[in-house]
């Protein structure tokens, strides 16, 4: 299976329907005291924080900051936090990261929290979340910009991701070496 994510940062990318949510559910089910910020209401039966789907706005950012500061960081109990649709809150530079996400990205290991973000495309997400991630889990992507970004991350990564079968994914390690992983089975 995928690497141990304890006290690690990670990002999950891929086209719609390629398996991102299945992988997130697997991580959530295998980690006690985990929670997902569930924008699209995809994670029924799991410990999740339901939020109404909003475009990038001051209200949406304030709600996210409040939740992360109060529940994720403030409780001291959460061991895995996953932010779904992270590109809605953590837009690419030059936009700043929301304060709570900046703090979590910098200090998650001191808080004993694994922190993951999920987005369709790495090019739509703040680069600090991608470049500082210990692990990347990448399902099929076919866009030109994604290909170029991935090739800049590791030689051959763009081509490997482009050729992935359904539900298979690439695991990119901290040293940016990578390997193809078999699909994670959907748990009932």
| pLDDT tens per residue, range 104-122 | 999 999 999 999 999 999 9
pTM above 0.85, yes or no: yes
| pLDDT tens per residue, range 48-86 | 544 554 556 788 889 899 989 998 999 999 999 999 999
Helix locations, 41-143, DSSP H:
58-67, 99-107, 127-131
> Which residues 6+ apart lie within 8 Å of 64 measured at CB?
37, 51, 83, 89, 98, 100, 101
Residue corresponding to tokens 């290991």: 109
CA distance 185 to 111: 30
DSSP calls for 114-136: EEEEEES-GGGS-HHHHHT-SEE
Q: Which domains does the chain have, with CATH numbers?
A: 9-181 (3.40.50.300)
Tokens of 100: 């709570």
């Amino acid at each position: 299976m995928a690497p141990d994510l304890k006290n690690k940062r990670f990002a999950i990318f891929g086209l719609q329907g390629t398996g991102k949510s299945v992988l997130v559910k697997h991580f959530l089910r295998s980690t006690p005291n985990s929670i997902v910020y569930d924008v699209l209401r995809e994670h029924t039966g799991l410990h999740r924080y339901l939020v109404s789907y909003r475009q990038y706005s001051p209200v949406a950012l304030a709600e996210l900051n409040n939740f992360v500061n109060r529940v994720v960081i403030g409780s001291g109990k959460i061991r895995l936090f996953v932010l779904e649709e992270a590109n809605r809150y953590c837009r690419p530079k030059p936009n700043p990261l929301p304060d709570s996400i900046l703090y979590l990205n910098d200090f998650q290991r001191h808080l004993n929290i694994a922190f993951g973000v999920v987005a369709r495309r790495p090019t739509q997400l703040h680069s600090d979340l991608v470049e500082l991630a210990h692990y990347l889990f990448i399902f099929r992507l076919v866009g030109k910009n994604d290909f170029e970004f991935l090739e800049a991350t590791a030689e051959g990564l763009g081509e490997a991701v482009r050729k992935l079968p359904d539900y298979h994914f690439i695991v990119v390690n901290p040293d940016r070496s990578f390997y193809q992983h078999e699909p994670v089975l959907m748990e009932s």
